[in-house]
């Protein structure tokens, strides 16, 4: 894994984590409560999205979430 991408959408209150290039996204599949798996054409999981990431209290308090993290 060359790069792990982590994106937080404050307005949509979602956290997206990518293990591969987001451009390879082919299909999304709901996995569990508020978790969506993102797969490529071969059905390999290349990322996931966590819906309703922050609680209402955390959103009011302006909790900080990283925009992008690079793994070395």
CB atoms within 10 A of CB 18: 20
CA 30 to each of CA 8, 33, 44: distance values in angstroms, whole numbers, following the listed order: 19, 8, 14
CB atoms within 10 A of CB 53: 19
For residue 53, give the DSSP letter: -
- How far apart, in whole angstroms, are the C-alpha atoms of residue 43 and residue 65? 29
Q: What pLDDT does residue 41 have?
A: 97
The answer on pLDDT for 68 being more than 80 is no
Q: Where are the domains of the chain?
A: 5-58
Which residues of the chain form beta strands (DSSP E)?
A: 5-9, 14-18, 27-32, 35-39, 45-50
pLDDT digits (tens, 9 = 90+) for 23-53: 999 999 998 789 999 999 999 999 999 999 9
């Amino acid at each position: 894994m060359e790069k792990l991408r982590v994106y937080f959408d404050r307005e949509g209150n979602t956290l997206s984590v990518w293990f591969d290039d987001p451009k390879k996204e082919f299909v999304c599949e709901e996995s569990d409560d508020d978790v969506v798996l993102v797969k490529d054409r071969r059905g390999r999981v290349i990322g996931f999205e966590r819906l309703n990431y922050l609680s209402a209290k955390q959103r009011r308090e302006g909790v900080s979430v990283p925009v992008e993290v690079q793994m070395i």
